[in-house]
Structure 1
Amino acid sequence: MKTIKGPGIFLAQFVGSDPPFNSLDGMCEWAAKLGYKGIQIPTWEAHLIDIDKAAESQTYCDELKGKVNSYGLEITELSTHLQGQLVAVHPAYDVMFDGFAPESVRNNSKARTEWAIEFVKKSGTASKRLGLKSHATFSGALLWPTVYPWPQRPNGLVDMGFEELAKRWMPILDHFDEQGVDVCYELHPGEDLHDGITFERFLEATGNHTRANILYDPSHFILQQLDYLRFIDYYHDRIKAFHVKDAEFNATGKQGVYGGYADWKDRAGRFRSLGDGQVDFNGIFSKLTTYGCDVWAVMEWECCVKASGQGAREGAPFIQKHIIEAAERSFDDFAGGETDKEQLKNILGI
């Protein structure tokens, strides 16, 4: 067993134009005062990290890490959720996802994909320079528009989709392997990797690549009505990152999983602040600890009801309360001791 590290916080949802949310120093001081011990850094926020410099300069990375450490914090992971999304974009989403890309590659899907692949690879190099072992990202999606098959999918479409997705990610996975860093896909609706079955298909398409792993986030499984506790039983050896995020699902006579295009506050499935939803975090922390998952417990805050400031204040003590100090000995080991075979024979009558 292994004690989960934390509490950590994903900075993406709190970045802003006003202090303290407009600088790395400001956000570190803010997070530390709230009781967090780690920060997950979104790489698309250039005022928090310069990935080009981080990929090229050990000095820059040492200074960045030193700055974070000076506030009593550690970097848990870097995140390329937005850039990972751009590794694979179905044409139906070209216009909407172009906003995540620099102007130089907009309206050019091939150039945008190449840029995204290189950016994620740079983030792998930066992760190594920062001494990190895991990296958070999205897979992107070529098949998502066909997730509910009407019209029926042509034979071979899904196989081809996963083959192409793997083809795009293999250079990234190989690069991360050279850096000694795991790629952790957040399994998320809208991504081709959104549950256990899709992750397995991708894993098979990559030849069971050792660096293809999972960022476990139970909130997305609540919204899909997936057994998120049994998921850990199946995939614990691939869970290398952890978002602590709550959600609830309350089906009505008018809507279910798909939500009827309603705003988040009006949906049957909604993300909530920690402790306000339905996720069994006691069960999750127990399983992850029992299986020895070496992860940071990082809060990702997304709630349509509670203010972000309150969510951030409540997050650190909530996570700390759930972290289990892994037992170093069995509660009944007073009956243990050296093995005495003759004694055992006497007990068994043999």
Structure 2
Amino acid sequence: MKLSSLKGQTAIVAAALTLAFAGAAHAEVPSWCGPNKASLALLDGYGGNSWRLVTTASGAAEAALCPSITDYQYADGQGNTQKAISDIKSMAAKGVNALVVFGDAGPAVLPALKSAYGAGSVVVPYRVVVGGEEGKDYTKFVGSSFVDDGVSWGNWIKSILPDGGNVLFLSGPAGNSQGTDELAGMKQVLDDSYVFLNPAPFDVTNWDPALTQQVLSAEIAKNPKIDVIVSDFGPSLVGALATFAKFNRSIPAIATSDGNSLGCFWADNHEANPDFKLFTVATGNDNVRLAVQWAIAEATGGTPPTDKIFKAPVFEDSVSGQPNAVQCRADLPGSIYLSAVMSADDQAKAVNK
């Protein structure tokens, strides 16, 4: 199999892809891998953090399960919408048979997706809503059920605070669909006895640790009673949680997504913070695997998956220990995600290259 990336891609990405393909070389051929030979490209709108590195390596590992994929390519839009659009157009122009696209820029990339689809490529955007219609503008949209995450968080909050409480909800950029969907899920479960302290619909953090710390410090100063924090990217909280000590307050309960850095922080700090309960859902690196399966099935004549929505399972609960107690691999980087299918040790190799 040929493995390549666009000129200018980092050695980190290349190493992650090589690792993924080497690790999957002898796996059993799955039903979604058909007999027709095809090329596949994974295109990120932004690939420059550990979550994306693990996700990139996971996508490559899934593609490597199909021997019909004869060429695998990767492109990083580097947070630049115009570059992301150019990458999509370039891959289609080169005749790549299937494109799996993390469209960070949302509907801004839709015309490029539509063009690639019209030119004959299988086009599968995933996770970020890009607008348009399946079968008209692209082949298939593979989403993630963020509403389910909100329901899971809401049910746990009710279990630890049956009489209601004060909730602080932190999400990413203003208006992002992930945060609004998660809030809708929580609202299905939580009644008016649960008061959201943040501005509606959520405190904006851009999933940036530095901004998260600023936002959380301001909220702690304004609100003498925070019973639970909900965040849709747990690792971004780690640097901010120490702020509670500056106010001589226990870290409250947290409902979020998993990350090794967060699990290890809980292991080191929960005894000194009696209110610090932790509940996580899987951070969702494996959403890419479902998207890759769909793209390969369509491009190679395989059997498509039965699902087109990735549902992140509950991962950790410090209260019940089910399905897992809080996980920490202190011997490995904080920037890995123990809920992912890829082994922790392989993730560490991917993010450290």
Which has a greater percent of helix?
A: 1
Structure 1 or 2, whichever has the larger Rg, is: 1
TM-score, structure 2 length as denominator? 0.27
TM-score, structure 1 length as denominator? 0.27
